[in-house]
């Protein structure tokens, strides 16, 4: 029995309706995900961007005798309440180091107290009516304004929000990632090379493979416990240091790099290996001269993504003590340090209103670095992608 086109079309209508419904549902899901992303970014930007500006006040500093003991005495009492205490504390130190300052005066821009900062930004603050009037007057005279916040990018943590910066944590992150990369990359790549190119396919290697895949799914905090138990308690690696943090994160990154490398190696066609064996390459020459160069973009991409993941990790670092208060800028593998996400975590726990924007600002810096790393991964893949 044959059907006319009209018969068939009538039957098909239901199927077409079904597929268009599915299309709309999936588009809705995508829209929802996009909306969340936009909301997240908008919230972070609106909260975090003010952190990149900081109120400063122009003050006259009078280096008198009282100021040698108490910095506040050098300032006009009305203004002194509005200036950051970190600056006031520095005045006696400066005078001791430079005795010739005694009796002179100086006019300069200094950090304002965080409450003044919050007031100028229109946020919640604790300034009294009279203090607000003083600030307003200073603004009128162009002696108080919001300037680009160099302190945020150039100093370490501080209990005073206006003086707190992200540099110590950023350096800590760099040091930690150096340790992680220099351990996880060679060990991971060589492990994958052995498993993929040299090892026989038997029970033992299958067992190892399953365990590596499981390792990638282990909650990261367990790696922190391992780091604490083995590296700190057993091997005596200094706690809170980039060394122990980097080693712990390396453990976490290893499976990611191994899996990415194996995938990259597997994607190299066997015809290349056969060609190389055919001209008399030894197994190592096949790998070094032919397989590795082709797999490198994939290996790099996987490693960078693994590194980015480690960079955003906080939980295992809390366990090995890297959530520390680090006011000094230092570059050392063995001294106590903190990392960006841990710094964000610390600031998020501060009660001071001014720390809210520091937290968001820290997240923005972290996000910028992660986006940069991921973009690098994509670019590497594009650039070195080879066809054969």
Partner 1 sequence: MPRHESYPPEPGQPVTRNREANHELSIRIRDLSLWYGETQALDKLNIDIYQKNVTALIGPSGCGKSTFLRCLNRMNDLIPSVRIEGLVEMDGRDVNAAKMDEVALRRRVGMVFQKPNPFPKSIFENVAYAPRMHDLVSRKAEQDELVEHALREAGLWNEVKDKLQQPGTSLSGGQQQRLCIARAIAVQPDVILMDEPTSALDPISTATIEDLMDKLKQQFTIITVTHNMQQAARVADYTAFFHLGEIIEYNDTKTMFANPATKKAEDYITGRYG
Question: Cβ of residue 205: shortest distance to partner 1, in angstroms?
Answer: 11
Please say which residue, 11 or 271, places its beta carbon nearer to partner 1.
Answer: 271
Question: Cβ of residue 303: shortest distance to partner 1, in angstroms?
Answer: 22
The verdict on 20 binding partner 1 (CB under 8 A) reads: no
Question: Cβ of residue 193: shortest distance to partner 1, in angstroms?
Answer: 16
Q: Which two tokens stand for residue 137?
A: 């007057």
Say which residues have a Cβ less than 8 Å from residue 140's Cβ, sequence separation at least 6.
none
The verdict on 383 binding partner 1 (CB under 8 A) reads: no
Please say which residue, 269 or 330, places its beta carbon nearer to partner 1.
Answer: 269
Question: Cβ of residue 282: shortest distance to partner 1, in angstroms?
Answer: 5
Residues between 255 and 274 with contacts to partner 1, criterion CB under 8 A: 269, 271-274
> What spatial distance separates the first Cα and last Cα of the chain, rounded to whole Å?
51
The verdict on 204 binding partner 1 (CB under 8 A) reads: no
The verdict on 147 binding partner 1 (CB under 8 A) reads: no
The verdict on 289 binding partner 1 (CB under 8 A) reads: yes
Contact 337, 240 (CB under 8 A): yes
Say which residues have a Cβ less than 8 Å from residue 333's Cβ, sequence separation at least 6.
175, 179, 241, 242, 243, 246
Q: Which two tokens stand for residue 250?
A: 């390396």
Is the torsion defined by CA of 311, 314, 316, 317 positive or negative? positive
Of positions 19, 201, 234, 235, contacts partner 1 by CB under 8 A: 201
Of positions 99, 103, 236, 278, contacts partner 1 by CB under 8 A: 278
Of positions 216, 281, 329, 373, contacts partner 1 by CB under 8 A: 281
C-alpha span between 320 and 190 (Å, rounded) = 27
Please say which residue, 281 or 373, places its beta carbon nearer to partner 1.
Answer: 281
Please say which residue, 246 or 297, places its beta carbon nearer to partner 1.
Answer: 297
Q: Which two tokens stand for residue 30?
A: 């995508």
Go through 131-155 and write b for each residue having 16 or more CB atoms within 10 A of its CB, e for each that does not: beebbeebeeeebbebeebebbeeb
Binding region for partner 1 (CB under 8 A):
200-201, 269, 271-282, 285, 289-290, 294, 386-388
């Amino acid at each position: 029995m044959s059907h006319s086109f009209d018969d068939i079309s009538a039957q098909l209508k239901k199927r077409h309706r079904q597929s268009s419904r599915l299309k709309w549902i999936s588009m809705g899901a995508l829209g929802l995900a996009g909306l969340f992303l936009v909301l997240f970014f908008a919230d972070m930007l609106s909260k975090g961007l003010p952190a990149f500006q900081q109120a400063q006040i122009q003050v006259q500093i009078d280096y008198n005798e009282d100021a040698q003991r108490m910095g506040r005495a050098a300032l006009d009492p009305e203004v002194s309440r509005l200036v950051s205490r970190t600056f006031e504390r520095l005045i006696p130190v400066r005078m001791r180091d430079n005795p010739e300052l005694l009796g002179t005066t100086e006019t300069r821009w200094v950090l304002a107290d965080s409450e003044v900062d919050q007031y100028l930004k229109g946020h919640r603050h604790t300034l009294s009516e009279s203090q607000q009037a003083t600030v307003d007057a200073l603004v009128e005279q162009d002696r108080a304004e919001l300037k680009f916040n160099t302190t945020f990018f150039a100093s370490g943590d501080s209990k005073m929000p206006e003086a707190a910066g992200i540099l110590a944590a950023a350096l800590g992150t760099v040091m930690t990632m150096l340790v992680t990369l220099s351990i996880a990359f060679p060990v991971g790549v060589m492990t994958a090379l052995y498993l993929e190119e040299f090892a026989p396919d038997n029970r033992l290697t299958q067992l190892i493979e399953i365990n590596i895949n499981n390792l990638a799914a282990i909650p990261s905090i367990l790696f922190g416990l391992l780091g604490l138990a083995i590296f700190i308690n057993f091997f005596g690696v200094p706690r809170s240091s980039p060394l122990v943090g980097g080693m712990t994160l390396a453990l976490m990154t290893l499976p990611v790099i191994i899996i990415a490398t194996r995938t990259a190696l597997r994607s190299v066609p066997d015809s290349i290996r056969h060609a190389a064996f055919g001209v008399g390459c030894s197994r190592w020459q096949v790998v070094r001269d032919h397989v590795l160069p082709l797999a490198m973009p994939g290996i790099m991409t996987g490693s960078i993504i693994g590194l980015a993941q480690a960079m955003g990790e906080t939980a295992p670092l809390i366990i090995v003590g890297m959530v520390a208060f680090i006011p000094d800028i230092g570059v050392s593998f063995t001294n106590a340090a903190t990392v960006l996400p841990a710094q964000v975590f610390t600031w998020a726990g501060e009660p001071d209103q001014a720390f809210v924007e520091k937290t968001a600002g820290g997240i923005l810096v972290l996000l910028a670095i992660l986006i940069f790393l991921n973009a690098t991964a994509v670019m590497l893949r594009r650039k070195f992608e080879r066809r054969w």
